[in-house]
Structure 1
Amino acid sequence: MKRLSNLTLQYYQLLLLFNIAATILWTAIFIFDSIPVNAVSFFVPKSIGYLSAVALHYYSYEDSYFYFRNAGYSIWRIIISAFVVDVLVYLLLISLSFIVRTCLH
C-alpha cells in the first residue's frame, strides 16, 4: 500500500500545476457567487479538469507511463487514486472558500 501511495503522489505531481490552476479558478468562481451551490457545480468542473489533465499528460508524455506500468500497478488504479487525492484537496479548499464566502457576505 505504501508503494501505491508513493506512485500515486508521483503521478499526481505530474498533473499538479494544471490541477492547481483548475482548483483556484473554480474556487474563485464559487467565492464570487458566479455559480449556484450544489454537488454538480463542485464535481463536474473538477472532473472535467482532471480528465483533461490526464489526457494532456497521456498525449504529451506517453513514455512516462511505462514507469508506472513496470512498478506492477495498473495505470487506471494510479489515476483513480490520484483523482481521490485531488478531490480531497478540492473539498478542503471548497470548505475554506465557503468560510471566506460567508465572512464576505
Structure 2
Amino acid sequence: MTINMICIYFLLRGEVNVVGSYVLKVLSYGLIIGFQHYNYNANKAFFYFRNAGYGIDKLYLYALTCDALAYGVLLSLLKLFKYWVSVF
C-alpha cells in the first residue's frame, strides 16, 4: 500500500503518467521479490504455505496480481473523481 500511495502522489503532482506509475509498481515488485530472495532461505520461509500445498511462486503471483488490480481500481476511481470535480 505504501508504494501505491507513493505512485498516486507522484501521479497527482504530474511528475509521472499512468504508464510511468505502473513502471514504478513493477520495479517495486522486483525489489520485493529480490529482498525476499536475498534475505530469506526459501527452504525455511513460508513453510506454512508449503504445508498447505501452495507454492511460493504462486503466492507471490497471486499477491502481486491482486495488488496490481487494486491499484488499477484505485487509479480508475481517482480519475473518475477528478473528472466529476472538474464538471462541478
Which of the five TM-score ranges fits, normalised by the shorter chain?
0.7 to 0.9
The alignment-based identity, stated in percent, is: 27
Q: Return the TM-score normalized by structure 1.
A: 0.63
Q: Supply the AA of the counterpart residue of 1:43.
A: Y
Highest RCO, 1 vs 2 (Cα 8 Å, sep ≥ 6): 1
CA distance in 1, matches of 2:82, 2:16: 13
Contact 2:8–2:21, Cα closer than 8 Å, also in 1 = no
Q: Which amino acid aligns with 2:53?
A: G
The yes-or-no answer on 1:74 pairing with 2:55 is: yes
Q: CA distance change for structure 1 residues 55 and 104 in 2, over 3 Å: closer, same or farther?
A: farther
Q: Which whole-Å CA distance do the structure 2 matches of 1:50 and 1:94 have between them?
A: 18
What does residue 7 of structure 2 align with? 26
Q: So what's the TM-score if we normalise by structure 2?
A: 0.73
CA RMSD, 1 decimal: 2.3
CA displacement, residues 67-90 of structure 1 (integer Å, 9 cap, x when unaligned): 222222221111111111111111
Matches within 5 A, 1:52-91: 52-62=31-41, 63-91=44-72
Cα distance in 2 for partners of 1:74, 1:26 equals 29
* CA apart distance, 1:53: 2.1
Q: What letter is aligned with 1:53?
A: I
Aligned residues: 84
State the match for 1:8 in structure 2.
none
The structural deviation recorded for 1:99 is 2.6
> Which ranges in structure 2 are unaligned for 5 or more consecutive residues?
none
Report SS of the residue matched to 2:10. helix
2:24 is matched with which residue: 16, 32, 45? 45
Question: Residue 61 of structure 1: CA displacement?
Answer: 4.7
